[in-house]
Amino acid sequence: MSAGLPHPTRHLGIGIKLFLWFLVISMLPLGGISWSYYQKNFEYVKNDISNRLFHELEYKRIFIEAYFSDVYNNLEMQCQSAENMVFLQQLVQSLKASGQPASGFVRGLEWAKITDALGYDLRLLQQTFDFENIHLIDRDGNILFSTLETDLLGQNIHNQTLAPSHFGISANNALTNGQGIFSDMGHFPLAGPEPSFFMIRSLVNSENTVIGLIAFQLDMGNIMDFMTRNEDFGATGETYIIGSKDLFMRTESRFSEESTIMKVKMNPEAVEAWTRQKNEFKIYHDYRNIEVVGNAIVLHDVERYHLLWTLVAEMDTSEAFAQIHELRKRTLIVLIITVLMVTLMAWRISRHLVHPIKRLTHAATLLGQGKFHVAIQVKTYDEIGELGTSFIQMRHNLQETTRQMQATQQLAEEANRAKSEFLANMSHEIRTPMNGVLGMIDLALGVALPSRVRDYLEHAKNSSHSLLRIINEILDFSKVEAGKLTLDPVHFYLADILEDTIALFEKDVDNKNIELIVAAPPQSLGLLSGDRLRIQQVMTNLVNNAIKFTEHGEIVVRVTADQEDQNQVRLHFTITDTGIGMTAEQISHLFVAFTQADSSTTRKFGGTGLGLTISKRLVNLMGGDVWVESTVGRGSTFHFTILVTNHAEQAKNAPTSPLSLISRRILVVDDNASSRSIFSEFFASFNMKVDTAVSGIDTLEKVKEATLRDTPFDLILLDWQMPAPNGVETAAIIRRDPLFADRPPKIILMTGFNHENVIQEARDVAIDAFLSKPVSPSQLFNTLLDVFGYAVHRPIVTAQKEWDKKGWIEKVGSAHVLLAEDHPINQQVAREMLKNMGLEVFVVGNGQAAVEAVRHENFDLVLMDIQMPVMDGYDATRNIRSDPKNKNMPIIAMTAHALAGDRERCLDAGMDDYVTKPIEPELLYSALEKWIRPGHRLLDVQTIPVGPEGNTFSPPLGDLPGIDVKTVLRRLGGNSTLFQKMLGEFNRDFSTACEKIKMGLTGDVPLDTTSRLVHSIKGVAGNLGAQSLHHAAKNLEKALVAGQRDRWPELLSHFEASLHQVLESTRPMHPDAPTMATNADSLATLDGPWDREKGREILLELSDWIQKANIRSQECIIPLREILKGTSAETELEILAEALDMFDFPQAKNHLDTITARLRISLENKQ
C-alpha cells in the first residue's frame, strides 16, 4: 500500500460475508415457518384455557346463586308463617310478664313450655336444611329463641358484644328497613370459632308492623365442598369467592391447611389485571404470590341480598402453558439442528467461492508492499480467472511506474540536499559580511559623530537588520520544511518579553504617530519555562505586522492565562490593531508560505510572506494555535496560545507592591480609551483606587473635586499629547493652584519616544517622573515605586538579558580571551567589542594558529569561528580538547551557520556554547559572563595602595557606613584607587556644606546658591553609592524649590546626619579634612524629649532582627514611632519602615545606622 494512501479498516472478509448471507437466506424461511407454527399452537392453547375458565366460572356461579335463592325462599316462607308470629308474640308477652331480663327469662320454666309447644317446626327446618341455627328476635333486639341453645340465646343485638358484629349490624338494618339481608362472612365469639353467616328477615304482623326478626345461621359446608371440588380443572385449578371491595376470601383455599376465610386477601395486582387486560384470561400473581392464569365474574344475583361477591377461577401458568413450553422446546431443538446443517453447507460453499479471491487479495497486498515478483496463479476460466489476468498486467505496470518514481524521488532528494547546502553556504557568505557591516556600524555609533552622519548610520543599521530578518525567515522556513525546527526552553519572566517588544518598536510607533499599549500580565504568573526567543519571535512578527498595516489609532497587546494542571499554564496572547483589516478570502491565504493578503500589499509593505507561516509552526510546537479575527476597514485581532511551565514558587523577584501603596488614589489621564482601561487595570491589580479623566479640563475638575472632599489623589498619570490644555499645561495649573499646596499629588508625565522637547517645556513644572510611550507594565511599576520613594526591584532571570555593565568588571574583567576569526573586518569588530569590555584579546586567523596559541598560552576562554582556512573550527576544537589541560577551558562557537543541527555539531566537536553571526553584543556578553570563571582575576579591593607610600586605610572599603562600595566599584571597573580619590575629593569639597546650607536658610546666602549646592551633593552622592544622603538631598532640594519652609528643619536634620555619616566614612581618604561640626546643639535643636533607654532597647532588638533578615523586624516600627515622635529621626524611621516593607534588609540597616548616628546612641551590648 502506498504511504500516501489511507489503509482501509478491515472488518469482515468476503468469505465471512458470503457465509453469513447463505445462513441468513436459508434461516429466514425456516425461522418464519417455525414462528408461525408456534404462534398457531399458542393461540389454540390460549383459547382452550379461556374456555375452561369460562365453563368453570359459569358452572359454580349457577350453583351458588341457586343455593342462596333456596335459602331466601325458605326464609320468606318462615316470615309469613302465622305459627312463627304467634310463637314470637307469646315469648314477648311472657318476657314482659316475668319482669326478668331476656337472659334470665330464657332459663325459666315458662320459656321452656312455650318453646316446647311452638318451636318444633323451626327445629325441624334447621335439621332438614342443615342450618347452623335459627333465631327469633323481638322488636327490642332480644334473642328469645334458638333452635340450638348457644350463648346467643338471651343476648340483645344492641349490646356491646353484638352491636359492632356483622350479625348485629345486619339485624339492626333488617329491623329498620324490613328487608331480607345476608350478613356476609364474619367472626364474633358468641357464634363460635368458625366464620358465621346469617340470612335475616323481619316478621311483619297483619297490621304491617315489624314485631321481630327471624335469622338463619347458615352452614357453608356445602358451598365450601362444592368450591373446592376440582373436577376437570387441572391439578392447580382453583375457584373461590372474594369480597368485591375488601378482597378477603369467603371460601377456603384448597392449597392451605389453615382457614383462609376472612384471613387471606386477594393480590391487588389481580384486580388491576382483570380491569386492564381485555382478553378472556389474565396473567397475574395470586394470593400465594404464584403466577397464575385466571378470570373472575361478579355474582350479580346475590347483590339483591346486599352481598358484594366475586367468583374467581385460576390455574398456575406452569400447568396452563405446559403444552406451549414443550412445543417451544421441540421447535428450538429442530431449529438448532437445522442451523448446524445449514451452517456447514454455507461454509463449504463460501470456502469454495472465496479461496481464489483470497489468493488474489494476498498477491495484491504484496504488490502494494513493493514485492513485484510474487507469483499470481490463475486456475479457473470464469470471472475470477479474468480478474487474475488483470492483476498480472497491473503488477507489470506498477513495477514500471515505481521504478520511474524512485528515480524521480532520488533526483528530488538530491535537489533538496543541494538547496540545503546552498542555504547553509549562502547563510555563511551573507552573514560574514553582515557581521562586519553591523559591527562596524555599532563601533561607529559608539563615537562622537555629526547628527547627519549618525542618521545615515542608523538607517544603514536598520536596513542591515531588515536584511538579516529576511535571511533568518528563509532559514527558519527551511527548518520547517525539513521538520527540524526545535525549541530551546529557558526560564523567563513574561514581563521581560513584553518590555522587549515595546523597546523594539517604540521608534516605529512614534514615527507613525500610533499608540502601542501593553496590558500587564496576570500577577499569578511567576517564573516561566519555555522557548523565550521563539515566543519573542512570534510576538515580534505579529506586532510588526500590526504596525505595518496600521496608519492611525492603536495596537493593544494583552495576555491572559488559564491553568491547565498543577504546573502547566496556557498563555493566550491577543494583538489588536485599528489597521486596514482583511476579508475572509485574504485570511484563508494568510498562513500560506510566500504569500500575503494580496499582491498589492506585498508591493506596498514588503516582506517575504514567511513570518506568519513560521509563527504558526512555532506556536504549534509550543502546544498552541494561532488564528485571526478581522473586519475590513476596522482592524484585526491576532490570537495565539502556547503552553508554558509556571514556577510561581521559584519567582524571587517578581514585582510586588509595598503595603503602603495599597488604597492609594490614582488618576489616569489619557484621551485614548484603551490606554485608560489598561492603566486602570494595572493600578487596580495592586488594590489602588483608580479614577480616569479624558482631557486636561476633566483632570482639573476631578482633582479639585477630590481635594475638596478631603480625598485628594496621591498620583496623576498624565498623558502629554491631549487637546488643550496638554499634559504639561495641565500639570502647571495644578502646581500653581494653592488648593493643592498642602498635599500636592505626584505627577508622572507620559510623552512620545523623543521627549527632550517636552522635558524642556516642563523644566519649570515640578514633574516627578517622565515615561516614554509605549509604556511597559514593569517600567510603570518601577516608576511608581521611584516617585513614592521605594527601592526599585527588577526581576533577574536566567534567560538572555542586557549586558549589566555595572557588574561586568567584577565578574570577567581582565580575562584573557583568544579570538579565532579569519575575516579581517570581523576580527576588528570582535576585538573592539572585547576590548571595550575590559578583556585582553589575542587574535589568530585560522584553526591551526588557534591550536598553537592555546598550546603556548593560557586563556580564560576561546571564541572559535567555524569556517576558516588551514583548519576549521571543528577540527581545531578537537585538537585543543585532546590536551588534558584544556579539558575544562570554555570554547564558544562564533559562526554564520544557522541551519538545524549546527548547534549539535558544535557541541559534539567539544564546544561549550554557540553564538550566531552577526554577533549581538548582549548575546556575546551573556555567553562570556556564563563561561568565564569569576574570582581568580578580581582585584583585591581591600589591599590596593592608595598613595605613593602604599598605605592602606581602615576600615576596609567594603565596610564604609552610608556608602555602597560594591556597586561603585562595579561602575568604576574595579578601580579602587580612583574610587578612593573620588571619596577624598567629596570629603574636601563638602565638609563645610551644612554650615553653608544653614546660612542659606537663614537668609545670609541666596537661596538659589543653597539649592544648587544641595543639588550638587545629591548628584555626587548618587554616583558614590551614598543612597541615604542622595535621598535626603533630593527631599531637601524639593522643599527648597517649593518654598516649604515648615519642612526645612526636619529635612535639614535628616540631611545633616546622612552627610555626617558619609564624611566620617571618607575622612581616611582625606586626612587633612576638617572635622564636621556635630555639636549637640546642631543635632538636637529640632528634637523633643524622648525615652532614650526604651528607644535604645527597641533599636537594639530591631538591629538584631535586621541582621537575621527576619520579618519580625516590622513589629518594632509601631513602638518606635511613639518613642521617636517629634525627634529628628522620625522621618528616617519612616524610610526604614518602607525598606522593611520591600524586604530590603541591607538598605534598612543603612537607615538604622543613620538613626543611631542622629540620636547619638550606640547599639553595642553593654557588658
| All residues at 6 or more sequence positions from 240 whose CB lies less than 8 Å from its CB, including other chains | 227, 249, 250, 251, 252, 253, 311, 312
Bridge partners (DSSP) listed for residue 294: 282, 314
**What's the CA dihedral at 469, 475, 480, 485 to 10 degrees?**
-90
How many residues are listed for the chain in this entry? 1167
The predicted structure's pLDDT at residue 717: 92
Rounded distance between C-alpha atoms, residue 1091 and residue 1119, angstroms: 11
Sorting pLDDT into bands at 50, 70 and 90, what band is 435?
low
User: Which has more confidence, 890 or 278?
Assistant: 890
Mean pLDDT of 889-915: 79
Q: CA dist 99 to 90, 105, 139, Å?
A: 14, 8, 17
Rounded distance between C-alpha atoms, residue 106 and residue 109, angstroms: 8
Helix/strand/coil for 108 = coil
Rounded distance between C-alpha atoms, residue 731 and residue 720, angstroms: 10
Helix/strand/coil for 384 = helix
CB atoms within 10 A of CB 559: 19
The predicted structure's pLDDT at residue 819: 92
Rounded distance between C-alpha atoms, residue 915 and residue 821, angstroms: 13
CATH number of the structural domain spanning residue 622? 3.30.565.10
Q: Look at residues 796, 821, 847 and tell me which one is the last residue of a structural domain.
A: 796
Q: Are residues 246 and 204 in the same domain?
A: no
Rounded distance between C-alpha atoms, residue 1142 and residue 203, angstroms: 117
Rounded distance between C-alpha atoms, residue 983 and residue 941, angstroms: 15
Sorting pLDDT into bands at 50, 70 and 90, what band is 943?
very low
Q: Establish if 128 belongs to a structural domain.
A: yes
The cell for 237 is: 385449578
How many helices (H) and strands (E) in the chain?
39, 26
Residues 1021-1065 pLDDT 10s: 766 778 788 788 888 888 887 777 888 888 888 888 888 888 888
Q: CA dist 153 to 141, 680, 718, Å?
A: 11, 107, 119
The predicted structure's pLDDT at residue 802: 44
Helix/strand/coil for 574 = strand
Q: Shortest CA distance to 346 belongs to which of 631, 609, 607, 19?
A: 19
**Residue 10 pLDDT more than 60?**
no
**What's the CA dihedral at 854, 858, 864, 869 to 10 degrees?**
-30
Q: Shortest CA distance to 1150 belongs to which of 1056, 1033, 1062?
A: 1062
**Residue 1167 pLDDT more than 50?**
no
| Block residue for cell numbers 311472657 | 94
Rounded distance between C-alpha atoms, residue 520 and residue 523, angstroms: 8
Q: Are residues 1097 and 1018 in the same domain?
A: no
For 1080-1114, what is the HEC assignment? HHHHHCCCCCCCHHHHHHHHHHHHHHHHCCCHHHH
| Block residue for cell numbers 334447621 | 126
Mean pLDDT of 335-339: 80
Q: Shortest CA distance to 838 belongs to which of 801, 863, 800, 811?
A: 811
Distance of CA 1121 to the CA centre of its chain: 46
Q: Establish if 132 belongs to a structural domain.
A: yes
Number of domains into which the chain is organized: 8
Q: Which amino acid is at 814?
A: S
Q: Which amino acid is at 741?
A: A
Q: Are residues 1061 and 1020 in the same domain?
A: yes
User: Which has more confidence, 459 or 487?
Assistant: 487
Mean pLDDT of 23-47: 77
Sorting pLDDT into bands at 50, 70 and 90, what band is 824?
low
The cell for 35 is: 414462528
Q: Are residues 704 and 750 in the same domain?
A: yes
Q: CA dist 157 to 97, 147, 166, 195, 498, Å?
A: 21, 17, 11, 18, 107
Distance of CA 133 to the CA centre of its chain: 90
User: Which has more confidence, 976 or 96?
Assistant: 96
Question: How far apart, in Å, do the first and last CA atoms of the chain sit?
Answer: 95
The cell for 533 is: 526567543
| All residues at 6 or more sequence positions from 1000 whose CB lies less than 8 Å from its CB, including other chains | 1006, 1007, 1009, 1010, 1013
Mean pLDDT of 16-21: 72
The predicted structure's pLDDT at residue 283: 81
Rounded distance between C-alpha atoms, residue 615 and residue 679, angstroms: 29
**Residue 469 pLDDT more than 70?**
no
The predicted structure's pLDDT at residue 848: 92
Rounded distance between C-alpha atoms, residue 276 and residue 511, angstroms: 90
Q: Shortest CA distance to 516 belongs to which of 505, 529, 528, 527?
A: 505
**Residue 660 pLDDT more than 80?**
no
Q: Are residues 606 and 661 in the same domain?
A: no
Q: Establish if 411 belongs to a structural domain.
A: no
Q: To the nearest 5 percent, what fractions of the chain are helix, strand and coil?
A: 55, 15, 35
Q: Are residues 836 and 900 in the same domain?
A: yes
Mean pLDDT of 46-55: 82
Q: Are residues 513 and 647 in the same domain?
A: yes
Sorting pLDDT into bands at 50, 70 and 90, what band is 890?
very high
**Residue 542 pLDDT more than 60?**
yes
Mean pLDDT is lowest, of 302-311, 463-472, 938-947, 958-967, for 938-947
Q: What are φ and ψ of residue 954, in 5° steps?
A: -130, 135
The domain containing residue 1107 runs over which residues? 1092-1159
Q: Establish if 471 belongs to a structural domain.
A: no
Q: CA dist 571 to 165, 622, 941, 984, Å?
A: 88, 11, 47, 54
The cell for 561 is: 492565562
Mean pLDDT of 361-385: 66
User: Strands 554-563, 515-518: parallel, antiparallel or unpaired by DSSP?
Assistant: parallel
What mean pLDDT is reported for the chain? 77
The predicted structure's pLDDT at residue 641: 93
The predicted structure's pLDDT at residue 177: 79
The predicted structure's pLDDT at residue 949: 31
Rounded distance between C-alpha atoms, residue 136 and residue 94, angstroms: 14
Q: Establish if 445 belongs to a structural domain.
A: no
User: Which has more confidence, 143 or 920?
Assistant: 143
Sorting pLDDT into bands at 50, 70 and 90, what band is 805?
low
**Residue 1009 pLDDT more than 60?**
yes
- 960 DSSP 8-state letter: -
The predicted structure's pLDDT at residue 388: 67
CATH number of the structural domain spanning residue 189? 3.30.450.20
| All residues at 6 or more sequence positions from 1121 whose CB lies less than 8 Å from its CB, including other chains | 1130, 1133
State the Cα angle at 721 between 715 and 727, rounded to 5°. 40
Rounded distance between C-alpha atoms, residue 413 and residue 462, angstroms: 37
Q: Establish if 1062 belongs to a structural domain.
A: yes
Rounded distance between C-alpha atoms, residue 591 and residue 538, angstroms: 13
Note if the pTM is more than 0.75.
no
The predicted structure's pLDDT at residue 649: 58
The predicted structure's pLDDT at residue 451: 60
Residues 470-492 pLDDT 10s: 676 666 666 666 666 677 788 88
Residues 230-245 pLDDT 10s: 767 778 888 888 887 7
Q: What are φ and ψ of residue 914, in 5° steps?
A: -150, 125
The cell for 435 is: 557581521
**Residue 536 pLDDT more than 80?**
yes
**Residue 953 pLDDT more than 60?**
no
Sorting pLDDT into bands at 50, 70 and 90, what band is 565?
confident
Q: Are residues 505 and 550 in the same domain?
A: yes
**Residue 455 pLDDT more than 50?**
yes
CATH number of the structural domain spanning residue 815? 3.40.50.2300
Which alpha helices (H) appear in 624-726, and where do they start and end?
A: 673-684, 696-708
With beta carbons less than 8 A apart as the criterion, state whether 281 and 158 touch: no
With beta carbons less than 8 A apart as the criterion, state whether 875 and 942 touch: no
Q: Establish if 424 belongs to a structural domain.
A: no
With beta carbons less than 8 A apart as the criterion, state whether 239 and 213 touch: no
Q: Look at residues 219, 244, 265 and tell me which one is the last residue of a structural domain.
A: 219
The cell for 768 is: 516627578
**Residue 938 pLDDT more than 50?**
no
Residues 576-601 pLDDT 10s: 999 888 888 887 777 765 555 544 44
Q: What are φ and ψ of residue 553, in 5° steps?
A: 105, -130
Q: Establish if 1042 belongs to a structural domain.
A: yes
**Residue 495 pLDDT more than 70?**
yes
| Block residue for cell numbers 342462596 | 68
Q: Are residues 830 and 909 in the same domain?
A: yes
The cell for 422 is: 546552498
The predicted structure's pLDDT at residue 280: 58
Residues 285-305 pLDDT 10s: 888 888 888 888 888 777 777
The CA R_g of the chain, rounded to the nearest whole Å, is 57
Mean pLDDT of 156-180: 83
**Residue 775 pLDDT more than 50?**
yes
The predicted structure's pLDDT at residue 1079: 36
Q: Shortest CA distance to 613 belongs to which of 449, 478, 753, 801?
A: 478
The predicted structure's pLDDT at residue 1063: 86
Query: In this prediction, what percent of the chain has a pLDDT beyond 90?
Result: 8
Mean pLDDT of 311-319: 85
**Residue 897 pLDDT more than 60?**
no
The predicted structure's pLDDT at residue 891: 95
With beta carbons less than 8 A apart as the criterion, state whether 700 and 730 touch: yes
Q: Look at residues 268, 303, 323 and tell me which one is the last residue of a structural domain.
A: 323
**Residue 154 pLDDT more than 80?**
yes
Q: Are residues 125 and 107 in the same domain?
A: yes
The cell for 332 is: 428450538
**Residue 569 pLDDT more than 80?**
yes
Q: Are residues 103 and 172 in the same domain?
A: yes
Q: Are residues 911 and 819 in the same domain?
A: yes
Helix/strand/coil for 262 = coil
Q: What are φ and ψ of residue 719, in 5° steps?
A: -80, 140
Mean pLDDT is lowest, of 328-337, 614-623, 667-676, for 328-337
Distance of CA 428 to the CA centre of its chain: 47
| Block residue for cell numbers 517645556 | 761
The predicted structure's pLDDT at residue 446: 62
* Full DSSP string of 491-523: EE-HHHHHHHHHHHHHHHHHHHT-EEEEPPPPT
